């Protein structure tokens, strides 16, 4: 989907986004979730900032009821640390009992022209993206991955759902025009089919499902929730997280290679990207020592907070030391680069092993 | 598809239809086809009246090259003698070397609201329609049947083709509006995917394909031919046949049970329908003896000509005797009813055997 929040450039006004999209701030629900499980760092650190109907998931965890988490991946390229945020949320819910569903949308890659040839996206899905997902630590038998055009139930489900909406509804939400291809129009329904697929009969029928999703993708969520009610499914829940900043500024994007670190980047390349990153520091070392830095607008601190440091106390010390001017950007970059290198070396080993396990994670049709 | 030729009511002006749709009258090509094979009665008797690029098929037959014939079936109900006309053409080409492809469009049945539930159409496809197709005499191993949502290559092919057209092209051809569902819009591309499916790599790649199709469905053919050229496939050929008249008047339609004979009608029911049919006779027996009847506008004669009598001389005698007033409608009805009963009894036996053979005729995915 090509929808962007207008102000997704560096600083995003998340308060405004909450109002605009009509989602719910996370705080109240977080108190309840805290009582039934140990929160993941993404929750503890305010990275997840809003939701829809997350209480259905809290209840499922509390009452040990069946539920699922679903997050889609676009296989137009290898995964980066922005994608990892979604997978980390899926793992959090998986550790709390959820089955994980991951549709790989080779159809989306193609109809929105992110790849020239759908077969490239399909190959990339099986050869790179799925091994990467496995290497990130999703559990066998509790993870169900499928490539959108290769799991025939998806098209059939999309056909079923398609009669619940009209072209004008799609147009109102996504702003299509006459030059839009029928594949783009229909993909709106296919993504809804992805979102509702964990509730198919073969997976035990209607159940709570949570979808970690970008706030800019919320129109799809609204559509899915509308159609769910009309089709005998439960309304899916959703969570929204803050974007990770791009290393060279703005929002992280997979199409600007120096702006993102990819899971398959070599440790050396990743180190270079971090050492050159735009930080929240300002002016000379002297000035920064005097005035302190701004970790709240720092791409390197984003990596530490979102990905590289588990220990809250350690992270807090870094934050405070930056603020007070005791810690300069060089030190943070060096630490981030070291942690990143360790992560990537380990990930690479896991990735090699994961390549033989693809079949164990795929949905096999009956 | 809900498109209808306006004047498809009893008498159709086929000359006008040829001009309107821009198809080619069959006569010239028939002379060439006659030189390479024995013509089926549908060709000998002027029932096939027009075509597009049939020469590609004549050439394939002549040069013993690979080619296919494709005809779709809508599984919203059991097959009738209007559907049989398409299958008879497929058999003719199969006898001349073609592989037969039959997509069963459960998606079309559903998105155009011919069934309330897509699963009803799917069940009907496997339990009734496919056995009927087999019982009509299609050859094992030279026939490839699939249910549209159950053969995943179709959605993938449709996604590929969808980028070659825009919504406004679909709109211009089919007259959709804002109330149209995305499933209806996308189905235009899915039907094109059906038409081009015999040219997929797994079936040997691009090749001549002929599609026997109703003249009212020609817009789909035009779209398929346009997209074929843009997608590395050969332009499919097509043939158009005259509609069989409804027994109670107008065009035969499966939704008016007394208007059509279904392959699963009991001999008794079929006899009743024929005995009550509207014929080309007029006035009293006396008047008809004097003025003769009109076999060219007679639903019973349509059955004799299109389905029940193989011998051309025998048919010609009936035609002449009707024209001259020597033969009255009662005699024709009785003869048609007898032949029909024989056909249905034999068909029913074949149908029972066919139910065990469904799997042999389905495309199995690799």
List helix spans (H) across chain A. 14-21, 27-36, 41-44, 55-62, 81-95, 106-111, 118-124, 130-135, 152-162, 167-174, 182-196, 218-230, 267-275, 285-291, 299-303, 312-324, 329-354, 358-361
Distance CA B287, CA B13 (A): 28
Distance CA B207, CA B230 (A): 15
State what percent of residues in chain A have pLDDT above 90: 84
Tell me whether residues B185 and A188 touch, CB distance under 8 A: no
Q: Is the ipTM of this complex over 0.85?
A: yes
Residue range B325-349, pLDDT digits in tens: 999 999 999 999 999 999 999 999 9
Enter the tokens of residue B39: 């013509």
Predicted confidence at residue A2, as pLDDT, reads: 31
Distance CA A93, CA A292 (A): 37
Tell me whether residues A111 and B176 touch, CB distance under 8 A: no
Residue A159 near chain B (CB below 8 Å) = yes
Is the pLDDT at B8 greater than 70, yes or no?
A: no
Residue A179 near chain B (CB below 8 Å) = yes
Reported confidence tier of residue A102, pLDDT bands at 50, 70, 90:
very high
User: Pick from A155, A160, A165: which is nearest to B182 by CB?
Assistant: A165
Residue B152 near chain A (CB below 8 Å) = yes
Tell me whether residues B155 and A166 touch, CB distance under 8 A: no
pTM for this one? 0.91
Residues 6+ apart with CB under 8 A from B125: B75, B104, B106, B147
Which of B108, B153, B186 has the highest number of chain A CBs within 10 A, making it the mutation to test binding with A?
B186
Distance CA A245, CA A184 (A): 29
Distance CA B296, CA B319 (A): 9
CB A365 within 8 A of CB A144: no
Chain B closest-CA separation from residue A210 CA (Å): 25
Residue range B120-146, pLDDT digits in tens: 999 999 999 999 999 999 999 999 999
Distance CA B263, CA B133 (A): 10
Q: Which of residues 125-144 of A touch B (CB under 8 A)?
A: none
Enter the tokens of residue A361: 């994670």
Enter the tokens of residue A112: 């929105």
Distance CA B329, CA B335 (A): 10
Residues 6+ apart with CB under 8 A from B205: B199
Q: Is A199 exposed, middle or buried (0-12, 13-18, 19+ CB in 10 A)?
A: buried
Is the pLDDT at B47 greater than 80, yes or no?
A: yes
B295: three-class secondary structure by DSSP: helix
Distance CA A182, CA A184 (A): 5
Predicted confidence at residue A6, as pLDDT, reads: 40
Tell me whether residues B178 and A167 touch, CB distance under 8 A: yes
Q: A51 phi and psi, to 5 degrees?
A: -160, 170
- The helix (run of H) or strand (run of E) holding residue A146 is strand A143-147
Is the pLDDT at A206 greater than 70, yes or no?
A: yes
Enter the tokens of residue B203: 């079936």
Predicted confidence at residue A254, as pLDDT, reads: 75
Task: Please provide the size of chain B in residues.
Answer: 366
Hunting for tokens 């993404």 — which residue is that? A42
Question: Of the ranges A220-229, B18-27, B162-171, which one carries the lowest mean pLDDT score?
Answer: B162-171
Is the pLDDT at B1 greater than 70, yes or no?
A: no
Residue A184 near chain B (CB below 8 Å) = yes
Task: Please provide the size of chain A in residues.
Answer: 366
CB B80 within 8 A of CB B252: yes
B140: three-class secondary structure by DSSP: coil
Chain B closest-CA separation from residue A174 CA (Å): 13
Chain B closest-CA separation from residue A74 CA (Å): 15
User: Pick from A150, A164, A188: which is nearest to B152 by CB?
Assistant: A150
């Amino acid at each position: 989907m090509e929808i962007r929040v207008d102000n997704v450039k560096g600083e995003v006004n998340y308060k405004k986004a909450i109002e605009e999209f009509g989602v719910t701030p996370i705080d109240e629900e977080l108190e309840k979730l805290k009582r039934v499980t140990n929160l993941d760092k993404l929750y503890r650190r305010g990275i997840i900032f809003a939701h829809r109907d997350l209480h259905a998931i809290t209840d499922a965890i509390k009452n040990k009821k069946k539920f699922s988490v679903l997050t889609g991946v676009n296989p137009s390229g290898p995964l980066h640390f922005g994608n990892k945020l979604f997978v980390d949320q899926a793992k959090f819910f998986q550790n709390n009992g959820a089955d994980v569903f991951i549709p790989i949308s080779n159809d989306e890659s193609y109809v929105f022209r992110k790849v020239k040839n759908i077969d490239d996206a399909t190959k990339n899905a099986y050869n790179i993206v799925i091994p990467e997902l496995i290497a990130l630590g999703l559990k066998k038998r509790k993870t169900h991955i499928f490539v959108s055009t290769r799991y025939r139930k998806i098209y059939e489900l999309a056909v079923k759902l398609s009669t619940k909406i009209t072209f004008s509804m799609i147009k109102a939400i996504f702003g299509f025009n006459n030059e839009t291809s029928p594949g783009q129009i229909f993909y709106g329904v296919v993504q809804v089919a992805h979102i509702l697929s964990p509730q198919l009969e073969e997976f035990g029928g209607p159940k709570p499902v949570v979808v970690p999703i970008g706030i800019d993708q919320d129109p799809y969520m609204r559509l899915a929730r509308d159609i769910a009610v009309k089709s005998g499914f439960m309304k899916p829940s959703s969570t929204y997280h803050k974007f990770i900043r791009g290393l060279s500024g703005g929002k992280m994007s997979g199409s600007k290679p120096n702006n993102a670190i990819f899971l398959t980047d070599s440790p050396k390349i990743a180190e270079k990207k971090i050492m050159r990153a735009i930080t929240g520091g300002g002016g000379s070392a002297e000035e920064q020592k005097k005035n302190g830095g701004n970790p709240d607008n720092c791409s390197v601190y984003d990596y530490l907070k979102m990905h590289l440091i588990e220990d809250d106390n350690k992270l807090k010390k870094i934050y405070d030391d930056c603020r007070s001017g005791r810690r300069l950007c060089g030190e943070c970059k060096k630490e981030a680069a070291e942690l990143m290198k360790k992560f990537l070396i380990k990930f690479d080993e896991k990735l090699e092993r994961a390549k033989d396990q693809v079949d164990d994670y795929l949905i096999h049709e009956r």
